[in-house]
Structure 1
């Protein structure tokens, strides 16, 4: 087997299992452990994995998708499935908080078609526009300083308003969810501070995140998974992630 073929096979194994061990790879490919270490070193330099003691793990991505307007049309089916699962958790007469998130926009697009009695609080402009079409939904807008991508509000005024609320249920978006490290992240610090406040004041708080975000990271960890009522995603994660979530007492909710 050529070097390139062996390295490609290593990446395939890593994609399937999430981690590889030097000893196992050495036996599998019938080469020395030193040879495998060199392979892993080369692949790490290419940004394709992260070396660990005795092996390597999947390299978590930082996607830098900053503007909501640029990715509201990505993963549309995944967000629709997440929204369907989320709406089932809302009770009659609930106060619901939907923060800045395209998954939350998908939730709003389902809620606007219902006739349930509820109050929705949001700091996202697109959600406000969607839900304004349903006169039965009581809308409350959390204003403040408009953010850089002009899709909602955050800052001191927004935070002060959020801190006075007691929502029955909240759904917050995320850029990355690292179940094994017990962290949920976003990009902007002010956005993260708002999200953390929403989680803190809400009776039930759920992170809504497509399955791909379980291998992505933002730049600011705004909460830990064990502060949440659950994680809503579109497809079942790998078994080791499910086990880690169970250890933290976090329910993974699927459509």
Structure 2
């Protein structure tokens, strides 16, 4: 058996059995301990395993996205402060789009009860805003993504094309030189259309998203106008924002309790 075949087999074994020892590799593939160790070194270099004393386990999945309800339980102080700053940019008579992210939900929670129009594909955002009598809500109809509670599909995108708004507030899983990315393609396709329909595109992202690239790219940095985050980024990231003429707002967490 060639090494590449062995490496695939080792990973498959781990998916079923959670861990593997050097002795098991030797027995399963009839190889020496030195060969087994070389296989583990190679897999570790490719970030496909985590080596342990005498063997290996699979790495935890850094890109696993918790369902919406679980993510709401861990909405951080940082996200709340970002949402508060974002909400302060919504004025009477504005027409705005809110996407489905938990950081944008923090924005919805902080919007004052003013005469404005909000377009969203998020069931949660619509529910939060429904208690604010002056805000008109347009909930986009489409196929329901049950786990994350948003509507998507051709009907959502077609309906979005009929609107033109002042501002779109967009959440991301990652923002880097490769553009804006998220975990779910169906969500990303809707975000892309939202961005196209807005005069000003405002991205809400806590510091853990900066410099990161996730699964699906839905737009480029040059397509956004303003980034709101909670910490001053590294110089290389600031240079990237300047290159694409993206303005930056830093939310002050210490002021979060002040209303």
Tell me the equivalent position of 1:103: 103
Secondary structure at 1:70 match in 2: helix
Secondary structure at 1:203 match in 2: strand
Secondary structure at 1:171 match in 2: strand
Alignment: residue pair count: 199
Query: Using the alignment, how far apart are the partners of 1:209 and 1:87 within structure 2?
Result: 14
RMSD: 2.1
Tell me the equivalent position of 2:68: 68
Equivalent residues in 2 for 1:82-231, closer than 5 Å: 82-111=82-111, 114-178=112-176, 180-181=177-178, 183-231=179-227
Query: Using the alignment, how far apart are the partners of 1:176 and 1:62 within structure 2?
Result: 12
Q: Determine which of 218, 234, 237 is the counterpart of 1:238.
A: 234
Unaligned stretches of 5+ residues in structure 2: 1-40, 49-60, 252-259
Query: Using the alignment, how far apart are the partners of 1:230 and 1:214 within structure 2?
Result: 14
Q: Is the 8 A contact 1:83 1:103 kept in 2?
A: yes
Normalising by structure 2, what TM-score?
Answer: 0.72
Cα deviation, residue 140, structure 1: 0.8
Unaligned stretches of 5+ residues in structure 1: 1-40, 49-60
Query: Using the alignment, how far apart are the partners of 2:175 and 2:47 within structure 1?
Result: 20
Q: Is the 8 A contact 2:75 2:103 kept in 1?
A: no
Stretches of 4+ moved more than 4 A in 1?
41-44
Q: Is the 8 A contact 2:87 2:108 kept in 1?
A: no
Query: Using the alignment, how far apart are the partners of 1:150 and 1:248 within structure 2?
Result: 31
Tell me the equivalent position of 1:33: none
Q: Is the 8 A contact 2:172 2:205 kept in 1?
A: yes
Cα deviation, residue 150, structure 1: 4.5
Structure having the higher Rg: 2
Secondary structure at 2:73 match in 1: coil
Cα deviation, residue 161, structure 1: 0.8
Tell me the equivalent position of 1:254: 250
Normalising by structure 1, what TM-score?
Answer: 0.73
